[in-house]
Amino acid sequence: MYAKRLLTILLLVGLVAELVVASLASASDSVPGGVDARFTGPWDLRHLKQPPRFVWGETRDGVREVYYENEPYRGQATRVFAYFAKPADGEGPFPGMVLVHGGGGTAFAEWARLWAERGYAALAMDLAGRGPDRDRLADGGPDQSDTEKFGPFDEHSIRDVWSYHAVAAVIRGHSLLASLPEVDGSRTGVTGISWGGYLTCIVAGLDDRFKAAVPVYGCGFLHENSVWLPRLAGMESAQRTRWVDNFDPSRYLPGVNCPILFVNGTNDFAYPLDSYRKSYRAVSGTRQLCVTVRMPHSHPAGWKPIEIDLFIDSVVRDGTPLPRLGPPGVEDGELSAAVESKTPIKSAEIHYTADTGAWQQREWHSRDATLKAGRVSAPLPQERPCVAFLTVTDERGATISTEHVECEP
């Protein structure tokens, strides 16, 4: 009798252990505070990581149309339109790139083709419910206006918000790309521009399959400072909290576990440097910065920087890495940082502004800095207050920045 009871107890203990393990495994992909401490918001990552159903469309100039399933919108099934391109030579498998457009954008065939020419299989999807020539799809998801981004929602309608659909479309696009026989799904990266950079910050913190990420312009803490601050400030308090808790990148950047490069301009109209610094500081892993004085804001300007492809190459193709700068420090009126580089550094600069007020309106100045004994340094201007940061540029023309330092009066 005793042995029988003992066997029953052991079986029950084993069953409980299995349930606990299953619960913890599920928690890591579905709720904050799981095994890997990632917050995953309203998305079902296990589902999104499965390759979606898809159909191929026409091929033009080496770029192929593809339609793939996404989340239901207002109770109706939806599809996402995208362009797929791969290198003209070779059978692969090639490393993969997911390309995420911003506001006013669409699936850009030339962007996919650009990465194919660099040796990648690339997927550029539309995130506004549109197809070729920007025609509205009968089964497309939400449009990309501020109404769909910031309109009121509750726990029942959260999956109709544009950000929910856009993030799902990017992760599903990644699942599709990685499943193709000509793609090496273990070597994939993602880059996005403006609202696409915003999405890249979220996706990089959700989809742990990516090996590298480059958000351009976009960042988090939009409720603290951004061009959308009036829109967010005008929300009812509970609604604003709900939006921030679910859809601001600040909630997801701590979960980024791949190397990430942040690319922005000093005077960006949408994503100012204070929210930008809070965003990249939220990443605990490998991160680098490429901040350019008065970088223009557009899709072509956002996919042009050579730092993006060099950074991705260094992670997924064992390419030569970008230079690395240590944390900036101020001592005896001089700003300095350590420099590591596998390529010769051809120039270094300090960039500063003595203006205050809106970041978008500040005037920046640049002057040469000194390279010596593995450090870059430059005297700070006499004006106070001032904001300054350092950059180094290697022989390839690739520029890397320190974070900015604020010198108070």
Domain ranges of the chain: 1-37, 45-316, 324-407
Pick the CATH number of 324-407 from 3.30.530.20, 2.60.40.10, 2.20.25.90, 3.40.50.1820: 2.60.40.10
Distance of CA 58 to the CA centre of its chain: 29
Question: What's the pLDDT at 37?
Answer: 61
Q: What is the mean pLDDT of each run of 10 residues along the chain (409 residues)?
A: 38 35 37 56 98 97 97 97 97 97 98 98 98 95 96 96 98 98 98 98 98 98 97 96 98 98 98 98 97 98 98 98 97 96 98 97 98 96 95 98 92
Please state the pTM of the whole predicted model.
0.91
217, 270 Cβ separation under 8 angstroms: yes
**317 Cβ contact partners less than 8 Å away, ≥ 6 residues apart:** 95, 119, 187
- Residue 116 tokens read as 């194919």
Q: Which residue blocks in 70-228 are alpha helix, DSSP H?
A: 109-117, 146-150, 162-179, 195-206
| pLDDT given for residue 26 in this prediction | 36
pLDDT of residue 12: 38
| pLDDT at 21 (0 to 100) | 32
Q: Select from 22, 207, 9 the least CA-distant residue to 96.
A: 207
Q: What is the DSSP letter of 27?
A: H
Beta-ladder partners of 347: 393
pLDDT for 408: 79
Q: Residue 128: which residues within 8 A CB-CB, separation 6 or more?
A: 106, 134, 140, 142, 143, 144
pLDDT of residue 36: 52
* The pLDDT value given to residue 409: 74
Strand bridging mode 334-340 / 329-331: antiparallel
CATH number attached to the domain at 45-316 = 3.40.50.1820
Residue 296: asked if its preceding bond is cis (omega within 30°), the reply is no
Provide the sign of the torsion angle of the four alpha carbons 8, 13, 14, 20, taken in this order.
positive
What gap in Å lies between CA 122 and CA 318, rounded to an integer?
A: 19
User: Is there a common fold for 45-316 and 324-407?
Assistant: no
| CB burial string 164-186: b at 16+ within 10 A, e below | bbbbbbbbbbbbbbbebeebbbe
